[in-house]
Structures are given as C-alpha cells and as structure tokens.
Amino acid sequence: MAQAGVHRGGCCRLLFLLVTALLLRRSCVVGQQSQSKKIYIVYLGERRHDDADVVTGSHHDMLASVLGSKEVALESIVYSYRHSFSGFAARLTEAQASTIRGLPDVISVRENQIHRLHTSRSWDFLGMDYRQPNGLLDKAKYGEDIIIGVIDTGITPESPSFADDGYGPPPSKWKGVCQVGPSFKAKSCNRKLIGARWYIDDDTLRSMSKDEILSPRDVVGHGTHTASTAGGNIIHNASILGLAAGIVRGGAPRARVAMYKTCWNGVGCSAAGQLKAIDDAIHDGVDILSLSLGGPFEDPGTLHVVAKGIPVVYSAGNDGPIA
C-alpha cells in the first residue's frame, strides 16, 4: 500500500510539472505573439529641413529614442519619406507604435495596408478624339514632354506603346533613374519610358506569387495597361490574336512615362511602398501622378503632391455606382 501511495504521489508531481511546463510554454508563445512586429507608417507632415539626408537622420533619431539604439533603428526602418513630406515606415510592435504615436510632431501612426488594383476606360469614350483638328489634344500638343508617373504593377518595356521613335532626350528637369533587375536592364528604359523603380517590403515579399520578378518588369499586365492608357503611343492595327484590329493610344500619346512598381502579383499594393513611390516621383520631376488602385484610407502624401501643383489622378474603383 505504501509503495502504491508513493507511486501515485510521484505521478501527481509529474503531472503537475507537465501542466506547469505547458502553461509556461503557452505564456511564452502568447507573449511572443503580442510582441510580433508589423509595418507601421508614421506620418510627420511637412519637412523641417531642405536636406533630405537630414530629414532621414531625424527619422532614425526618433526611432532610436523608442527602440533603444541607432543600430536597432536602422534595422527597423523600411522606408524614409524625405523629399516632398516627412515620415517613415518601420517594423514595430503594437506597443512601440503606440509609444511613437504619443511623441511630439507625430501626426499619425497607421498599420500598413494592402490596396487593390483598379481598371479604366477608353479616351474616346470621353470625347478626346486625337484626330480632331484644334481639339483639346491638338492644342495640348498631345502631351508633348509631360512626364506621367504611374504607380502600379510595373511595365513591359518592349510594348510598342513605349517605343521612343521620334522622341528627343528627356526633359532637362528629369532626375529619375532606371532601376535594373531580373528581366529589366538599363536599356529597357528609353526616351519614352524615361524611368522605372520598384519597391518591396515584408508585407509584399512574404505573400507575392512565385512568378513575380524583383524588378520593374510587369508580370500582371495591369501596370502596362494603365501606363499605355495614360501616355502610350498611337499604335495602328493593334489586335488581340488578329481579332478586333484597330487603334490603341494613350490620353497623352506624346507624353513621357515613368513607372513606380509598388503592386505585386498575388498581394496587391503596399501603402508603405506607395508612399515612398510618391515621395520619389515628386523628387524625380513628374508632372502628373496616376494611380489605378485604391483602399479604405486616404494617402496623406498626396496632399503634399497637390500642394506642389502636381495633379494626382486616382481611379474610382470597380465596385459599381457607389465607387
């Protein structure tokens, strides 16, 4: 009997230790989950300094004051918005984001969102006939040398819509780049497609399709479509596999095009990357910004774009009469 009691006592102690270990493990997992990091967008409004490097330095300093060191701050930051407004995107816990939200000069702190792509309609439907003498397009010289910045899924540079036959050098104010990558070389840009950039972050990288390419190359087709709709050349005898032959063109067929790829197949468009693209586009020298995408929140960066006299064109969406 005594031995049986000892045996039962040993089993109870063993069971108690196992339950305690499981509870501790669950507590650790819950603690780790509560400390998991996400991308947050910190918006600070107008720049406090004309030097972009100084603006970025102030972002690092703010992050370091919360995260504990400059090294951790540099690891955390994803984008620094420093050309047309001030702000940054960073990997933060909910508690860290809450702390930053309470700092002086911080206007808003918002978790990154993924926006959806939209589509658009024909220019002829709007009555903008390029063949009309003394019409609106003719008077505007078909958009000659206007630089259209497009934020989308990238671009197919081989498309005839972006051939540069008959174009001179880019406007002298242009400061953009042709960012290379797989299937997109420096020669992919030309005197029509004068710039291309791409933006990737944690929220897009972890979920994008395997067929995506880390370059301005368009694997979806949406960016090529919207860029050509805005500023594509006049192409005669265009067709789909020989059917429905006709003329395709952009609204401003003599404009220059710059692509900013923030949207990725299988994911959508990261708001954090979108803000950085807007920031770069203004610095590069675009005359108009086109975004055929949308989401439930407004983009504060666009207020600074419009304040600089640059029109921003968003699509209305694909959700019917309430869009």
Mean pLDDT of 203-213: 92
Question: Above 80 in pLDDT, residue 225?
Answer: yes
pLDDT at 29: 39
Same domain, 137 and 105: no
CATH number, domain at 188? Answer: 3.40.50.200
> In this structure, is residue 148 part of a structural domain?
yes
Mean pLDDT of 99-107: 96
Cα–Cα distance for residue pair 267/202, rounded to 1 Å? 11
Mean pLDDT of 91-104: 97
Mean pLDDT of 64-68: 97
pLDDT at 33: 40
Same domain, 162 and 90: no
Question: Above 90 in pLDDT, residue 63?
Answer: yes
| Residue among 271, 58, 213 at smallest CA distance from 279 | 271
Cα–Cα distance for residue pair 185/128, rounded to 1 Å? 35
Per the structure, how many domains does the chain have? Answer: 2
Same domain, 254 and 314: yes
> In this structure, is residue 5 part of a structural domain?
no
H helix intervals, the chain:
2-34, 52-67, 70-76, 94-101, 136-139, 202-205, 222-231, 271-284, 301-307
Highest mean pLDDT out of 30-34, 80-84, 247-251: 80-84
> In this structure, is residue 9 part of a structural domain?
no
> In this structure, is residue 253 part of a structural domain?
yes
Question: Above 90 in pLDDT, residue 319?
Answer: no
Domain that holds residue 103: 38-111
Residue that is last in its domain, among 111, 140, 170 = 111
Same domain, 189 and 137: yes
H helix intervals, 35-146:
52-67, 70-76, 94-101, 136-139
Same domain, 92 and 198: no
> In this structure, is residue 6 part of a structural domain?
no
Same domain, 49 and 135: no
Angle 75-282-84 from CA coordinates, rounded to 5°: 60
Tell me the C-alpha to C-alpha distance, in Å, between residue 145 and each of 9, 86, 254. 88, 29, 7
Beta bridge partners of 181: 184
CB under 8 Å to 125, separation ≥6 — which residues?
A: none
Q: Is the pTM of this model over 0.85?
A: no
160-192 pLDDT per residue, tens? 999 999 999 999 999 999 999 999 999 999 999
pLDDT at 133: 75
pLDDT at 60: 98
36-57 pLDDT per residue, tens? 999 999 999 999 999 999 999 9
> In this structure, is residue 21 part of a structural domain?
no
pLDDT at 200: 95
Same domain, 203 and 317: yes
Mean pLDDT of 306-313: 92
Same domain, 289 and 208: yes
> In this structure, is residue 237 part of a structural domain?
yes
Residue that is last in its domain, among 47, 82, 111 = 111
Q: What is the average pLDDT value for the chain, to the nearest integer?
A: 86
Same domain, 136 and 68: no
Question: Above 50 in pLDDT, residue 32?
Answer: no
Question: Above 90 in pLDDT, residue 137?
Answer: no
Same domain, 107 and 141: no
Residue that is last in its domain, among 88, 111, 134 = 111
Same domain, 89 and 208: no
Mean pLDDT of 150-156: 97
* Band (18; pLDDT cuts 50, 70, 90): low
CB under 8 Å to 203, separation ≥6 — which residues?
A: 39, 112, 114, 267, 270, 272
Task: Compare 292 and 54 and report the one with higher pLDDT.
Answer: 54
Same domain, 131 and 84: no
pLDDT at 321: 60
Coil vs helix vs strand at 244: strand
CATH number, domain at 46? Answer: 3.30.70.80
Please list, residue by residue across 172-185, b when 16 or more beta carbons sit within 10 angstroms of its beta carbon and e when fewer do.
eebebebbbbebbe
140-151 pLDDT per residue, tens? 888 999 999 999
> In this structure, is residue 280 part of a structural domain?
yes
Cα–Cα distance for residue pair 103/107, rounded to 1 Å? 9
Least-confidence region, from 209-213, 214-218, 237-241, 303-307: 237-241
